[in-house]
Amino acid sequence: MQKKLGITFLLLFNTMLLMAQSKYTVSGTVKQKSSGETLVGVTASVVENPTVGVITNEYGFFSLSLPQGNYTLRFSYIGYQQQLIPIKLDSNVTLNINMSDETTLKEVVVSSKKDNDNLTKAAMGTEVLDMRTAAKMPVVFGEKDLVKTIQLMPGVKSSGEGSNGFSVRGGATDQNLIILDEAPVYNASHLLGIFSTFNSDAIKDATIIKGNSQAQYGGRLSSVLDVKMKEGNNKDYHVSGGLGLISSRMTIEGPIQKDKSSFIISGRRTYADLLANMSSDFRDVKLYFYDLNAKANVAINSKNKIFFSGYFGKDVLSVSKTFGSNWGNATGTLRWNSVVSSKLFSNTSFIYSNYDFNVGFNTDGNSININSNIKDLNLKQDFTLFLNSQNTVRFGLNTIHHTITPTTTEGTGIVSNKKVRKGLENAVYVNNSWKASDKISMDYGLRFSFFYVLGGNTYNIYTNNQLTQSVKLDEGSIGKAYYNLEPRLSTNFRVSENASIKLGYARNTQNLHLMSNSTGGSPTDQWIGNSYNIKPEIADQVSIGYSRNFNDNAYELNSEVYYKFMQHQIDYRDGTDINTVPDIESELLFGNGRAYGIETIIKKKKGKLTGWIGYTLSKTERQIGGINNGQWYNAKQDRTHDLSVVGIYSLTSRWTLSGIFVYTTGNAVTFPTGRYVMNDMVIYQYGSRNADRMPATHRLDISATYERPAKKRYQSSWSFGLYNVYGRRNPYSITFRENAVNPQKIDAVQTSLFQWIPSVTYNFKF
Amino acid sequence: MRNTVSIVLIALTLTGCEKVVNLKYKDNQSRIIIDGNITNETGPYFIKITKSVNLSNTESNPTVDNAVVKISDDAGNSETLAPEGSGIYRTNTLIGVVGRTYTLTVLAENQTYTAQSTMPQQVPFDSIKIEKVVTSSETEYNLVPVYNDPTQKGNNYRFALLVNNKPVNQHFIQNDQLRNGEANSFRLEINGDDLKIKSADSIEITMQCIDQKVAAFYSTLVLMADSGPGGGTTPSNPQSNISNGAMGLFSAHTVQKNIKVVQ
């Protein structure tokens, strides 16, 4: 550890030396021309000196320092017309760039495109999801969904058919940091996992980073899914929406001050239960969700801007008057962007996030309520220092106050002594993106994270699951503290014009853990913070990558090999009912995990046919004392093969066809191996844990989108989709039961969902 | 809860379907199975010794008939059980008494297996309450065993259910973790996919007061039966209270029966 630290600081020192030369700075914001939305991740480079370049930050801001002289700046971004801007630099210059969407403008002639970010950027294991691609993909029930699209990337696996839970490089579903405008989203699914909480109409873009994130991200082991909401069009008012078979949505956006500030409000509501109600069996069933995204930004002056964004979503499920439940997330983010100087950009965020779950049973005057809640108050201060043309430094701090109410049961005569738990999660970080030469670029950084168990509760200490000590912490006092240093490094070596090799190492830690009895992500899952027994989970990941582009960057090949070792992984003893056990900590078991594999993706980015083929070969195992006799066993999310093929074909200027094919090895599961009889009841005998496999899942989905000719401002399109074209009965679950004729014969019964689901959606915009 | 969720989910898609599939099972290690009870009712009591078989095997489980089976209690009584054939061993003199700890020793196939169980105090099983739940589509019946949980913590109950004299192959366990010292109002969590209770059905429930280890064994079975979509709780062999790798259970418990007809 000491040695790693030494190297990191040496590199930072190197950066400081480079600072010494005096130069002029060109800085500004890059926006989309038609809507005024800021563009993130745009490469700003100098034509005369290809080694020099920066990337716009989360708010579209860039800054480049160069010696006095005449230059041509090149702004390039996938899917947008490249821009070449000549500048005369003899003082500091502010430059605001408006880039045009390739699909909307055809008159601008540009020189050869440079869609080769994969060869120049140091970032590893990163995929940026373009919402325009997601919009054309076939999805179940016709509701475009960014999480479903993310699941088609190599290394990202869906946790089950129709599920919005996902596993990244062998991680568990709770090891993904999902943030919506910086606010953590604790339950990213609606309608029992069929829909994601993200309304695509309100989303600008989404980036998934598979374990090699920069130091400003932290708190989860496996990945970061960074979702950014649109800011709203600051030029014109627009209304858009869609009508589908089971859901509808509507978005309104427009300027507050023209060209300066804007707002967007977007809402969704499903009505699946109306369909279900048509069947007499489900007349009393209510099942729906709604959600609302809202965002506004106000420019105080040319250097300061304030953003407010909020999300509110709720799921409701009830059966007549006897059973009712609802759950949902609410988040709010208040941000202040400030251009402190032409080189220093500051962002301050206050974030509120709340997730709660309620379920009630009511029979014969007896009522029971089960409730759990997690509430966060979060402060982030982030600086981007555009030090010089080679170095961009990110540094800052983050502190989150967690208030977690564990699942408590209340009702007639129920005694519950579960209390709210509090924790303080903090981090300070520094990260430098260094463009060492036109061949080598590097991201390196260090995150120092520390977690405090806060008072107001009594914490039990268990040794071998036996209570050995109780610690009573007074309100306001600080109990156990955990400290972790997380070094991060990723490097890109350009080995030729068309190829590069990448190397990365990252340590991630996790202070909040999800207790779940189910695989798919159930609303009853509960979060728990570090305690005296639960230590922060730690993952170390090493990865090596190779990227190569063909045919003038029309084709892109990226391949990465990774090995990840995880410490302090959590499971519980057999027979633990996590919802009723008085103190779940008494039932916990701890151990290690390891995951390794190779991921390959080939993309076709240009032409009438675009799309990708992604393939992952991987292994994921756990070793936990008290499970499987302490031997390594397959994690349930271990799937050997995972293939996805995505194709989008522009048939004419109006018709677009698309198709998805997926194949994955079944989950690792435990089937019985034998049977015996006790008290005249058959009981199954089991062998090694997760030694069996569910049958493989494969499926083809297709869709067609027709864009109607625009009438003045009114644009509209029809999308037709068919999910599971060849009607494969993919396994959802397998259960065992005695044969009706011969009770000594055991039948394995497979349940399947989603055989041929057609969908029609009408989208409009004016 | 989870049943409701999956039912709704399947209803939602309107296409959910079931089929019997052929699976290749891993090899099974045949183990000694010991199944025996001591109750507060008059004897004789029986111990049954069998062996587990492969899941694909459709024969009945082989029995162990040449074992030496002994039971003793903490009041100084002890006896060797008489083999009756078909793997069954019977007591002659032993009496089941509340509060006593019983020790079982089995010598079978050159291995010795032991187990202990303590018969808890009896909690009176007052009656069966049947709650009728009417929704627009169907009528359901909830079965609530009525008893008063004692103020002392740590009581565990098991219920054996017979509907129209037919045993229901589901496990029902209750305890006082949530409602210590209260009159019970929790229903038996019946899996409605396999069992629909109708008007005029005869309901017979036997309540057993069981010790902690026996309760843990059945709780594991209950959780596994409740396994949710895609596997849910990873199944495993419930922790037996018998030593030396034998499976099954030796339980000293009280029994009390109530019968009621669904109105």
Amino acid at A310: G
DSSP letter at A159 equals S
The per-residue pLDDT for range B192-207, each reduced to its tens digit, is: 777 888 889 999 999 9
The pLDDT of residue A599 = 94
Query: Is residue A471 pLDDT above 60, yes or no?
Result: yes
On chain B, the residues whose CB falls within 8 A of the CB of A690 are 234
Contact residues on chain A for B4, CB-CB shorter than 8 A: 317, 319, 323
Q: Under an 8 A CB cutoff, do B223 and A671 touch? A: no
**Is the minimum CB–CB distance between A580 and chain B shorter than 8 Å?**
yes
Per the prediction, chain B carries an average pLDDT of 87
> If you measure CA to CA, which chain B residue comes closest to A409?
B178
Q: How far apart are CA B8 and CA B14, in angstroms?
A: 10
Measure the CA–CA gap between A682 and A96, rounded to whole angstroms: 74
Average pLDDT value for residue range A709-714: 81
Q: What is the share, in percent, of chain A residues with pLDDT greater than 90?
A: 31
Residue B263 burial by CB count (10 A; 0-12/13-18/19+): exposed, middle or buried? exposed
Which residue out of B2, B5, B193 would a mutagenesis test of the A interface target, given it has the greatest number of A Cβ atoms within 10 Å?
B5
As given in the structure block, the two tokens for residue A488 are 């991060």
Domains and CATH numbers, chain A: 2-77+79-114 (2.60.40.1120), 126-226 (2.170.130.10), 227-765 (2.40.170.20)
Residue A122 has pLDDT above 80, yes or no: no
Share of chain B above pLDDT 70, in %: 90
Helix (H, G, I), strand (E, B) or coil at A160: coil
Mean pLDDT, rounded, for A501-525: 80
Looking at residue A371, what is its pLDDT?
81
Q: What does the pLDDT average to over A43-48?
A: 85
Q: Please name the amino acid found at residue A23.
A: K
- Long-range own/partner contacts, residues A71-74 (CB < 8 A, 24 or more apart): A71/A46, A71/A47, A72/A46, A72/A47, A72/A48, A73/A26, A73/A44, A73/A45, A73/A46, A73/A47, A74/A43, A74/A44, A74/A45, A74/A46, A74/A47, A74/A114
Residue B133 to chain A, least CA–CA distance (Å):
8
pLDDT of residue B161: 94
Q: Do domains B32-118 and B125-226+253-261 have the same CATH topology?
A: yes
pLDDT value of residue B228: 47
Q: What is the mean pLDDT of residues A138-155?
A: 79
Interface of A with B in 48-107 (CB under 8 A): none
Assess A275–B contact: CB distance below 8 Å, yes or no: yes
Interface contact A410, partner B, CB < 8 A = no
- A-chain CB neighbours of B213 within 8 Å are none
pLDDT band (50, 70, 90) for residue A680: confident
| Range scoring the smallest mean pLDDT among A499-513, A566-580, B210-224 | A566-580
Q: Which of residues 172-201 of A touch B (CB under 8 A)?
A: 191-192, 194
Check if the beta carbon of residue A672 is closer than 8 Å to that of residue B55: yes
The pLDDT of residue A394 is: 93
Q: What is the pLDDT of residue A102?
A: 66
Nearest chain A residue to B174, by CA? A580
Record: fold of B125-226+253-261: Immunoglobulin-like (2.60.40)
The answer to whether the beta carbons of residues A549 and A496 sit under 8 Å apart is no
Question: In the predicted model, is pLDDT for residue A114 greater than 70?
Answer: no
Residue B98 C-alpha, separation from nearest chain A C-alpha, in angstroms: 21
What is the per-residue pLDDT across A481-498, written as a single tens digit (0 to 9) for each? 999 999 999 999 999 888
Instruction: Tell me A79's DSSP state.
Output: T
pLDDT for the residue B2: 38
Where residue A743 falls (left for φ over 0; alpha for ψ -120 to 50; beta otherwise) is alpha
Q: Is the pLDDT of residue A602 over 70?
A: yes
Using the predicted structure, report yes or no on whether residue A21 has a pLDDT greater than 70.
no
Tokens of A481: 């503290």
Tell me the residue type at B135. Answer: T
- Contact check, Cβ <8 Å, B23/A580: no
Q: Give B37-87 pLDDT, tens digit per residue.
A: 999 999 899 999 999 999 888 888 999 999 999 999 999 999 999 999 899
Verify cis geometry, omega within 30 degrees of 0, for the bond prior to B44: yes
Interface mutation target, options A282, A637, A729, A735, chain B, most CBs of B under 10 Å: A282
pLDDT digits (tens, 9 = 90+) for B143-175: 999 999 999 989 999 999 999 999 888 889 998
Q: Do B230 and A580 touch (CB under 8 A)?
A: no
Per-residue model confidence (pLDDT) at position A108:
34
Substitution target from A173, A363, A633, A759 for chain B, most B beta carbons within 10 A: A363
- Per-residue pLDDT tens digits for A309-337: 999 988 887 776 677 788 888 999 999 99
Classify domain B32-118 at the CATH topology level.
Answer: Immunoglobulin-like (2.60.40)
Of A121-125, A692-696, B88-92, B103-107, the range with the lowest mean pLDDT is: A121-125
**β pairing state of B202-210 and A555-572:** unpaired
Verify whether the Cβ–Cβ distance A753 to B5 is below 8 Å: no
The CA distance from A360 to A324, in Å, is 5
Show residues of chain B in contact with A749, CB under 8 Å.
18-21
**For the residues A146-174, what does the mean pLDDT come to?**
83
Would you kindly state where each structural domain of chain B is located, as residue ranges?
32-118, 125-226+253-261
- What's the token pair of residue B33? 């199975």
CB contacts under 8 A, A 706-735 vs B, are: 729, 732-735
Distance in angstroms (rounded) separating the CA atoms of residues A587 and A572: 5
Would the CB atoms of B31 and A685 count as touching at under 8 Å?
yes
- The answer to whether ipTM exceeds 0.85 is yes
CA distance A378 to A353: 8
Q: Give the pLDDT band of residue B261 (cuts 50, 70, 90).
A: very high
- Where residue B136 falls among pLDDT bands split at 50, 70, 90? low
- CB contacts under 8 A, A 30-49 vs B, are none
